[in-house]
Amino acid sequence: MNRIWDQYLDERDKKVYQGAGLGKKMGIGNKPALVIVDVQYGFTGDSPENIEESIRKYPTSCGESSWQAIEHIKLLLDVARKAELPIFFTIIEGSKSSSNERVAIKGNIFDHPALLEGEKGTQVVEELKPQYGEVVISKKKPSAFFGTPLVSYLTAQQVDTVIITGCTTSGCVRASVIDAFSNNYRVVVPEECVFDRGIASHAINLFDMQQKYADVVSVEELIKELY
């Protein structure tokens, strides 16, 4: 089976990781939850347009790749709702009353007017609009766990597996995966349901998460397991 990261690995890398015994599958536990990380207009743009155009309005946009992922996230979200899984969304908002230095990333990009609290860039895209009972968590750092009540919500619902989707693969998704793993959750990343502005960065970070912290699987495979 060809994986998205294969083209970026040489034979030495493949032998080393295989020889070390990395990349073993954890599987899904008894109570999974779905976490949708930062799929907001600030990271997707208003529509599936070229990334070079999209970043003119939203400097954090990932462009057309985000809309390709949204189709798959929507499919998974529909399944999760039918299965009555706990569902959580995160968003990043720049503050209107204080400095946004080092919000999510170094620098002050979240001082951008479209990325401040309450602006459209901070809203979950309409295609994935949260429903009653689904929790939306505002965060200021990459991880969905850092400085948020997410663990408390997961504990209350006896969750043992966290399915992480959203963006960016190399940033907030990766940080959330590592924190989920560090909190002793099983972690699943459906490959088609995460996205990034960088093509190589997206692929290599998926590889690294698959080797160390998460099961990186196809969304089709995951949906079959959830059914």
Give the position of tokens 């990766």.
174
pLDDT of the residue at 166: 98
User: Quick count: other Cβ atoms within 10 Å of Cβ 192?
Assistant: 19
The per-residue pLDDT for 86 is 98
Does residue 216 belong to any structural domain of this protein?
A: yes
136 bridge partner residues: 89
User: Is 222 within a domain?
Assistant: yes
Task: Give the total number of structural domains in the chain.
Answer: 1
User: Is 193 assigned a catalytic role?
Assistant: no
Cis ω for the linkage preceding 168 (within 30 of 0): yes
Considering 62, 167, 172, 193, which one is annotated as catalytic?
172
Which residues, other chains included, contact 100 with Cβ-Cβ below 8 Å and sequence gap of 6+? 94, 108, 109, 110, 111
CATH number at residue 79: 3.40.50.850
The verdict on residue 85 lying in a domain is yes
Q: How far apart are the first and last CA of the chain?
A: 23
- Give the pLDDT score at 44: 98
- C-alpha 121/C-alpha 39 separation (Å) is 10
Task: Give residue 1's pLDDT.
Answer: 72
**Is the residue at 183 inside a domain?**
yes
Is 14 among the domain residues? Answer: no
Its domain, for residue 127, covers 30-226
pLDDT value, residue 102: 86
pLDDT, residue 97, reads: 86
**Residue 8 included in any domain:** no
Residue 2 falls within a domain, yes or no? Answer: no
Q: pLDDT under 50 in the chain at which residues?
A: none
Residue 220 covered by a domain: yes
pLDDT of residue 104: 85
